[in-house]
Structure 1
Amino acid sequence: MDWAWFARQMASMARDLLAQESVDATLGRITHTATELVEGCDAAGILVLRGDAVRTLAATDDLVVVSDRIQGELREGPCFDAARSRTGERVYRIPDFTADAVRWPRYAPRAQELGVGSMMGFLLYTEDEDLGALNLYSRRPGAFAEASELAGWLLASHAAIAFSSARTHAQMEEAVATRHVIGEARGILMGRHGLDETQAFDVLRRYSQENNVKLREVARQICEKGALT
């Protein structure tokens, strides 16, 4: 590993991640960069757990999607464990799936059938939250050495910060958009029905609760159609 080259590429990637316009674009850049910078990496993806549900984000190959689905079904596997981080481990490196089937006795043979030779998983986390796991795959046994693990860990550290920042930015944009559309809908109700601000908002809130529809969707309906249906 040429670490001077790697450091320059990481610096370039860090700037590039901040320039992405959405969470999906940020994650896609992360996984694509993994296949470029981490020696031995043929495919990459991010596994996120929401309760019992497994989601695969920004997969660079169908192998990642299928692998995550199997781990979700079996409730075991290195990526699944990394995302849960119940054991406190933040990094997994499986040099050879043909020789390491003890920890995941049901998943390991399925991984071999998929053509997975070796794998690494890195928990994506900040001080405040666990975001999921960045998982790197190789079709060759023994593809990931210690240098690959260090490179993956450095990439994952940058990725976690970029992921968290992109998600926070998206949430802030959504909050601003929600306030805007609610304010517009409230103005329509006030103008058409002679209501004050509090009364107009109560109409929106009551309709939302009674019909189990998000307040933003109620407001959007009024903005688009001029009335509630």
Structure 2
Amino acid sequence: MSEERAQTFTVLHQVDDVQRTENGDFDSALRAIGETTVESVPGAQYAGLTVIEGIEHITTKGATHRYPTVLDEVQRENGEGPCLSAAWTHQIIHIDDLATEDRWPKYRAAALDRTPVQSVLSFRLFGESALFVALNLYAESAGAFDDDSIELGLVYAAHTSVAWNSMRREQQFRSALASRDVIGQAKGLLMERFNIDAVAAFELLRRLSQESNTRLAEIAERLVSARPAEQ
């Protein structure tokens, strides 16, 4: 087996392991993938995913250390940074020495003040999600990443994209199952309360959803959660 195929197998095996668990601890799976990436990319010490839903909604997933989370907080607070640029502009961002970096001055000042990180590599992840996601690698020494680091980082960014998309699909599937179950419970409550059949109960839920401009699953959750207080 080639080294690249072995790397792909390792990452996908980590994803498969977490999908077989009942709780679906996706952050732990992403952290394991990040640890594999750090071990394999020359110069890397820390890794994390920056997940972006608008400038006010920036979160960190799978961080192998607290520094990736701190640096994402810096980006959120200042509205700029390499991970945001990598996610928004489809670029690979390479910071060789944060102390001399001039593209994001507010980010640079806060990052140097709050962490010892000097080198940064950010890769945009591609896939099915509407979210913007970047894989970020960090090191405390300047000049930590070379051409080999970038080449291997691209490989692991591709593997992480596969993992991210797979886990997002799994999350969506589990969410759909949970929604189906709670909608079924809500239908049962309405059928019992109003002596109607399943079709009429679902139509009532649908009408409530439309009139209140609220997701049908949320309407169902409210009905089910209110039941104990009414008994």
SS for the counterpart of 1:159 is helix
> Contact 1:204–1:219 (CA<8 Å) still a contact in 2?
yes
SS for the counterpart of 2:18 is coil
Gaps of 5+ in 2: none
Distance in 1 separating the partners of 2:218 and 2:173: 18
Q: Provide the aligned C-alpha RMSD in A.
A: 2.7
Please give the residue correspondences for 1:115-194 in structure 2 after superposition, counting only pairs within 5 Å.
115-126=116-127, 131-194=132-195
More helix by share: 2
Distance in 2 separating the partners of 1:179 and 1:161: 27
Matched, 1:35 2:32: no
The structure-2 alpha-carbon separation of the partners of 1:201 and 1:164, relative to structure 1 and needing over 3 Å to count, comes to same
Distance in 2 separating the partners of 1:213 and 1:7: 46
Distance in 1 separating the partners of 2:228 and 2:80: 50
Cα offset, 1:180, TM superposition: 2.5
Give 1:107's aligned amino acid.
Answer: Y
Cα offset, 1:182, TM superposition: 0.9
- CA-to-partner distance for each residue in 1:27-52, whole Å, 9 max, x for gaps? 22222222222222111111111122
- CA-to-partner distance for each residue in 1:52-91, whole Å, 9 max, x for gaps? 2211112222211111111122222111101212xx42x1
Alignment partner, residue 55 of structure 1: 59
Give 2:62's aligned amino acid.
Answer: A
How does the TM-score come out when normalised to structure 1? 0.83
Give 1:121's aligned amino acid.
Answer: S
Alignment partner, residue 17 of structure 1: 15
Q: Give the counterpart of 2:88 among 57, 63, 84.
A: 84
The structure-2 alpha-carbon separation of the partners of 1:32 and 1:219, relative to structure 1 and needing over 3 Å to count, comes to same
The structure-2 alpha-carbon separation of the partners of 1:134 and 1:220, relative to structure 1 and needing over 3 Å to count, comes to same
SS for the counterpart of 1:40 is coil
The structure-2 alpha-carbon separation of the partners of 1:177 and 1:36, relative to structure 1 and needing over 3 Å to count, comes to same
> Contact 2:125–2:158 (CA<8 Å) still a contact in 1?
yes
Alignment partner, residue 93 of structure 1: 94
For these two proteins, the number of residue pairs brought into alignment is: 222
Distance in 1 separating the partners of 2:75 and 2:185: 46
> Contact 1:49–1:84 (CA<8 Å) still a contact in 2?
no
SS for the counterpart of 1:47 is strand
> Contact 2:129–2:165 (CA<8 Å) still a contact in 1?
no
Cα offset, 1:8, TM superposition: 2.7
Distance in 2 separating the partners of 1:196 and 1:154: 55
Distance in 1 separating the partners of 2:131 and 2:53: 11
SS for the counterpart of 1:181 is helix
> Contact 1:120–1:137 (CA<8 Å) still a contact in 2?
yes
Gaps of 5+ in 1: none
- CA-to-partner distance for each residue in 1:75-134, whole Å, 9 max, x for gaps? 22111101212xx42x112122223x2212222232223211101000011277564101
**Once structures 1 and 2 are overlaid, which stretch shifts more, 192-201 or 150-159?**
192-201
Alignment partner, residue 102 of structure 1: 102
Distance in 2 separating the partners of 1:130 and 1:203: 33
Distance in 1 separating the partners of 2:72 and 2:159: 23
Give 1:27's aligned amino acid.
Answer: L
